[in-house]
Amino acid sequence: MNTNFKTTTSEKAAKLGSMYAENGFFSPVNAFSEADAEKLRKDYETAEEELTGDTERLSLLKAYPNRLLPSFDTATRNETLVEAAKEILGENILVWSAALFIKEASSTKIVSWHQDLTYWQLNDIKEVTCWLAISSARKQAGCMKFIPGSHKNRIVPHNDTFDENNLLTRGQEISVEVNENEAVYAELDPGQASFHHGLLFHSSGPNTTNDRRIGSAIRYISASMKQETGDCPLVTQVSGNTDYGNFRILSPPKGRLLEEEFELCRLDNELKKKLLL
Ligand SMILES: O=C(O)CCC(=O)C(=O)O
């Protein structure tokens, strides 16, 4: 099903709501034209070039494109994406993270089967990930795959494999059996997005193409959530205006690659290292 939320009627919205409730994901959602996705890619890759050799800033750029590039902050506010998130989370929505997942051309890197909410020490499950394709993400490029209905599980046991081929920091992997035959591939063109539940079993394979596969994983959360530790990560608000005081809500970045923004990213990065289980 190809979904454009701008034309959503209440009937369509209800259908999506029930698809999400049943499967734990929906895909694809048409958010940007290919040309606009290409502009995002160009902005990111130009920034990468500008930071050549600066490993620390390059890694912050990958983790916080929405703080360091105004175009990516704007992308998290895209009406189609925010409307989709509102169908799931209600009116008051924050962006907890929008990190890039990049698989270089002809890369063996994978992401093992996992459930996102295992790691973040959030007190509830009012979270949805919008995976926005910045480049083409077909099966051969290692697009995301989902096990429909698996979000109905609670958090299942995970192992740390420390596999260097895994894009996840510690190679975290579900340690109960996952039936690959049930997997649904969420193939996306640049500018399209998938939405998945924080308890959904998901993974992705290697990139066998000759282009990079780039996606921004926008973690939308309800502003009513909080960290179990009482910490207040840095977030932006993309819908509603209720501040429950559980996060530090930042204004959009005022410019590109600003030093004051790198400082904020460093702060949040230290906090997230502590939070990520
Ligand atoms: O980009 C990928 O292949 C995996 C991303 C992922 O696991 C996520 O967005 O939760």
Start-to-end C-alpha separation, the chain: 35
Q: What is the pTM of this model?
A: 0.95
Q: Give Rg (Cα) of the chain.
A: 17
pLDDT at 184: 98
Residue 157 scores a pLDDT above 60: yes
pLDDT at 15: 72
By most ligand atoms within 8 Å of CB, the mutation choice from 62, 96, 104, 144 for ligand 1 is 144
Atom 8, ligand 1: residue with shortest CA distance: 217
Instruction: Calculate how far, in angstroms, residue 111's C-alpha sits from the geometric centre of ligand 1.
Output: 7
pLDDT at 25: 97
Q: Given the CA of residue 114, which atom of ligand 1 is nearest to it?
A: 7
pLDDT at 5: 58
Highest mean pLDDT among 3-7, 12-16, 245-249: 245-249
pLDDT at 277: 67
pLDDT at 11: 65
Homologous superfamily of 7-275: q2cbj1_9rhob like domain (2.60.120.620)
Instruction: Calculate how far, in angstroms, residue 203's C-alpha sits from the geometric centre of ligand 1.
Output: 7
Task: Indicate if ligand 1 lies below 6 Å from the C-beta of 217.
Answer: yes
Within 10 A of 143 (CB to CB), how many other CB atoms are there?
A: 23
Query: Model confidence over 40-84: pLDDT tens digits?
Result: 999 999 999 999 999 999 999 999 999 999 999 999 999 999 999
Atom 10, ligand 1: residue with shortest CA distance: 116
Q: Note the residue count of the chain.
A: 277
Task: Indicate if ligand 1 lies below 6 Å from the C-beta of 127.
Answer: no
- The per-type count for the chain, helices as H runs and strands as E runs, is 7, 14
Residue 7 scores a pLDDT above 60: no
Task: Indicate if ligand 1 lies below 6 Å from the C-beta of 129.
Answer: yes
Give the residue, 16 or 139, on which the prediction is more confident.
139
pLDDT at 4: 60
Percentage above 70 pLDDT, the chain: 95
Burial tier of 196 (Cβ tally within 10 Å: 0-12, 13-18, 19+): buried
pLDDT at 12: 63
Distance, CA of 46 to chain centre: 22
Task: Indicate if ligand 1 lies below 6 Å from the C-beta of 204.
Answer: yes
Task: Indicate if ligand 1 lies below 6 Å from the C-beta of 166.
Answer: no
What rounded mean pLDDT belongs to the chain? 94
Q: How many angstroms separate the CA atoms of 125 and 152, rounded?
A: 12
Q: Which residues contact 142 (CB under 8 A, 6 or more apart)?
A: 103, 107, 109, 110, 204, 205, 206, 207, 208, 213
Atom 7, ligand 1: residue with shortest CA distance: 203
